[in-house]
Amino acid sequence: MAEQWIYLNGQYVTKQDAVVSVYDHGYLYGDGIFEGIRIYNGNIFKCKEHLDRLFDSAKSIMLNIPLTYQEMEDALVETLRRNELRNGYIRLVVSRGTGDLGLDPNRCPKATVVIIVEQLSIYSEEAYKTGLKTVSVSTKRNIPDALNPKIKSLNYLNNILVKIQSNLSGAGEAIMLNSQGYVTEGSGDNIFIVKNGVITTPPCYLGALEGITRGAIIDICAEKGYKLKEEPFSLHDVYVADEVFLTGTAAEVIAVREVDGRIIGEGHAGPITLNLLEEFRSVVDKDGIKVW
Ligand code: PMP
């Protein structure tokens, strides 16, 4: 197998040499931010949107990214070229950097920047037809006043606790509520429901990441004439929906066939979900930055 090259603070190093200090505050405190991005047929899908979200997350947590926007884009492109990757996943991580054992970020003079690119297969093609079994979990989504879920921070313990709970229930994904009982998102995906032809997704202020895939689906709905609302809804609305689907960079658009033992619609991916997946897949190698 060809050598995998990883971008680490301006250098391209092998996987073996891609190591950061145990004093890095990304490791000690989850202090940092990240992005998950896809490349399809040599096109970095929605590259600008991902980099905008990264720089916004950095601003929000007062993290100084030691690269300009253009330098970051160039580093992404170069990492992909060196790995000859035309289809796959890009993980871009910016941590606070090396400091001391105290949590003060002022003790970390320089952020650590890492870019890892790899092939990806998260769900089988079959899973896109059968849909996922999911459960709602008792762990609530972080409240926006504590750690705003709009920040794609390295601190994913909230999501990990949720994943542990869904694993224990034998489910493939979890549905997280906020402390008022409104549905927010999955452990790593946004959520949509369909009822009588109307598509609804929760507004992100309830406690959800502003997913890039979510945004792409909202745009496709507008273009294709689907009725779409951003409105709060409860678990009851999920249970009685005709279709439920999740969106994310890794998952794309995947149906949910079961929630807490309730069968959704016909118990497999519904027509609107499948149509949106098809429309989504028809733009992923066009909308973005061409590397090859
Ligand atoms: N919510 C959470 C918590 C996520 O981690 C992600 C990304 N995996 C998403 C939603 C989906 O966001 P995107 O479409 O930008 O990947």
Q: Whose CA is nearest to atom 12 of ligand 1?
A: 211
Q: Whose CA is nearest to atom 4 of ligand 1?
A: 188
- Cα of 248 to ligand 1 centre, how many Å? 5
Pair 181, 89 in one domain: no
pLDDT, residue 130, reads: 98
Q: Catalytic annotation on 152?
A: yes
Final residue in a domain of this structure, among 80, 101, 118: 118
Residue 87 burial by Cβ neighbours in a 10 Å radius (0-12, 13-18, 19+): middle
- Cα of 102 to ligand 1 centre, how many Å? 30
Q: Are 58 and 33 in contact (CB under 8 A)?
A: yes
Pair 134, 114 in one domain: no
Final residue in a domain of this structure, among 101, 118, 135: 118
Residue 176 lies in a domain: yes
- Cα of 287 to ligand 1 centre, how many Å? 18
First to last CA, the chain: 21
Residues 38-72: tens digit of each pLDDT: 999 999 999 999 999 999 999 999 999 999 999 99
Pair 136, 267 in one domain: yes
Separation between Cα atoms, residue 81 and residue 5, nearest integer Å: 10
Q: Which atom of ligand 1 approaches the CA of 212 most closely?
A: 15
Residue 292 lies in a domain: no
Q: Supply the pTM of this predicted model.
A: 0.97
Pair 54, 87 in one domain: yes
- Cα of 190 to ligand 1 centre, how many Å? 6
Residue 199 lies in a domain: yes
Which two structure tokens, joined as six digits, stand for 267? 């118990």
Domain at 23, CATH number? 3.30.470.10
Substitution candidate for ligand 1 out of 91, 158, 249, 284 with most atoms within 8 A of CB? 249
Pair 240, 144 in one domain: yes
pLDDT, residue 2, reads: 85
Q: Is the ipTM of this complex over 0.95?
A: yes
Pair 185, 101 in one domain: no
- Cα of 149 to ligand 1 centre, how many Å? 10
Residue 186 lies in a domain: yes
Q: Please tell me the total number of residues recorded for the chain in this structure.
A: 292
State CA 272 to chain mean position distance: 22
Pair 83, 180 in one domain: no
Pair 136, 268 in one domain: yes
Q: Which atom of ligand 1 approaches the CA of 50 most closely?
A: 15
Domain that holds residue 171: 125-283
Pair 103, 156 in one domain: no
Separation between Cα atoms, residue 253 and residue 275, nearest integer Å: 10
Residue 135 lies in a domain: yes
Give the number of domains in the chain.
2
Tokens 């250098």, located at residue: 11
Pair 112, 231 in one domain: no
Residue 67 lies in a domain: yes
Q: Given the residues 150, 152, 229, 290, select the one marked as catalytic.
A: 152
Pair 77, 150 in one domain: no
Q: Are 283 and 220 in contact (CB under 8 A)?
A: yes
Three-state SS sequence of the chain: CCCCEEEECCEEEECCCCCCCCCEHHHHHCCEEEEEEEEECCEEECHHHHHHHHHHHHHHCCCCCCCCHHHHHHHHHHHHHHCCCCCEEEEEEEECCECCCCCCHHHCCCCEEEEEEECCCCCCHHHHHHCEEEEECCCCCCCCCCCCCCCCECCCHHHHHHHHHHHHCCCCEEEEECCCCCEEEECCCEEEEEECCEEEECCHHHCCCCCHHHHHHHHHHHHHCCEEEECCCCHHHHHCCCEEEEEECCCEEEEEEEECCEECCCCCCCHHHHHHHHHHHHHCCCCEEECC
Q: Which atom of ligand 1 approaches the CA of 49 most closely?
A: 15
Final residue in a domain of this structure, among 84, 102, 118: 118
Residue 62 lies in a domain: yes
Query: What are the pLDDT tens digits along the chain (292 aa)?
Result: 689 999 999 999 999 999 999 999 999 999 999 999 999 999 999 999 999 999 999 999 999 999 999 999 999 999 999 999 999 999 999 999 999 999 999 999 999 999 999 998 889 999 999 999 999 999 999 999 999 999 999 999 999 999 999 999 999 999 999 999 999 999 999 999 999 999 999 999 999 999 999 999 999 999 999 999 999 999 999 999 999 999 999 999 999 999 999 999 999 999 999 999 999 999 999 999 999 8
Pair 79, 151 in one domain: no
Domain at 141, CATH number? 3.20.10.10
Residue 291 lies in a domain: no
Q: Pocket residues for ligand 1 (CB within 6 Å)? A: 36, 159, 185, 188-190, 209, 211-214, 247-249
